[in-house]
């Protein structure tokens, strides 16, 4: 029993972790995060590691060799929009025998921006489309054009947009974004959107920005007297 306890304790020594969030994280929506785990020991491997993030999301690494860095994907759901700074990641292991469970909790300080959850507001979508003299169908994401960029899977994208060959060479799913017919820019003012509260208006704005961005339509944002000019891509 003593030897088991000593081995279990040393099994977690020298382990460091890093959180790699995707480009976009949304309130209340499950998103794949990448966790990098490094075994900094020069002589000993680590075995049977369970990685727990956000207290309820976990994944396993059966073997992490000495001086090795492994990457695992873990589904995470954040509650509440805005900046999330303090995170707790726990590594557990029942090595060498399933008698004692050793754990190591690592406190990480890293700013992760969580956007409002996109909630469909079709009336606003139609209104902005009509202002540009277009039909609703013309602002949907194209599926016949050239690939404009590759990005990480965020959740909710159709499977036909997954770049399977590229995903097979990485540790996460990759999504194709295709070109679409050029369209007029749009400026979104959250305060003018439907919704009884500011939160619901922001959720509508998040939905509109995603819809227009997928069709490669330039989007601007008006927040009081501050105006962010219309543009495409990540900002």
Q: Tell me whether the omega of the peptide bond preceding residue 153 falls within 30 degrees of 0, making it cis.
A: no
**pLDDT reported for residue 45:** 93
Read off the pLDDT of residues 86-119 as tens digits, 9 standing for 90 and up.
999 999 998 887 777 889 999 999 999 999 999 9
Instruction: Supply the mean pLDDT for the chain.
Output: 83
pLDDT at 83 over 50: yes
Q: What are phi and psi of 129, to 5 degrees?
A: -70, -40
9 vs 79, which has greater pLDDT?
79
Superfamily of domain 2-114: Immunoglobulins (2.60.40.10)
Would the pTM of this model clear 0.75, i.e. be above it? no
Which helix (H) or strand (E) covers residue 182, if one does? none
Contact 58, 48 (CB under 8 A): no
Alpha carbons 92 and 140: distance in angstroms, whole number: 45
Reduced to 3 states, what is the DSSP secondary structure of residue 123? helix
**pLDDT reported for residue 139:** 43
| Domain residue ranges of the chain, discontinuous segments joined by + | 2-114, 122-231
Reduced to 3 states, what is the DSSP secondary structure of residue 151? strand
């Amino acid at each position: 029993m003593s030897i088991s306890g000593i081995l279990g304790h040393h099994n977690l020594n020298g382990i460091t972790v890093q959180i790699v969030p995707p480009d976009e994280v949304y309130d209340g929506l499950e998103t794949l995060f990448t966790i990098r785990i490094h075994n900094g020991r020069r002589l000993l491997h680590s075995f049977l590691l369970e990685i727990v993030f956000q207290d309820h999301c976990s994944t396993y690494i059966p073997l992490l060799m000495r001086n090795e860095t492994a990457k695992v994907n873990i589904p995470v759901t954040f509650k509440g929009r805005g900046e999330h700074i303090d995170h707790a990641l726990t590594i557990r292991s029942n090595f060498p025998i399933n008698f004692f469970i050793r754990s190591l909790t690592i406190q990480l300080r890293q700013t992760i921006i969580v956007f409002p959850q996109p909630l469909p507001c079709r009336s606003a979508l139609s209104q902005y489309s009509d202002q540009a003299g277009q039909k609703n169908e013309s602002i949907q994401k194209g599926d016949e054009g050239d690939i404009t960029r590759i990005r990480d899977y965020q959740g909710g994208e159709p499977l036909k947009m997954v770049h399977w060959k590229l995903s097979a060479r990485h540790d996460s799913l990759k999504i194709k974004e295709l070109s679409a017919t050029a369209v007029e820019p749009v400026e979104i003012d959250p305060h003018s959107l439907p919704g009884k509260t500011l939160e619901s208006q922001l959720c509508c704005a998040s939905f509109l920005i995603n819809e227009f961005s997928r069709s490669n339509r330039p989007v601007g944002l008006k927040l009081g007297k501050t105006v962010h000019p219309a543009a495409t891509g990540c900002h």
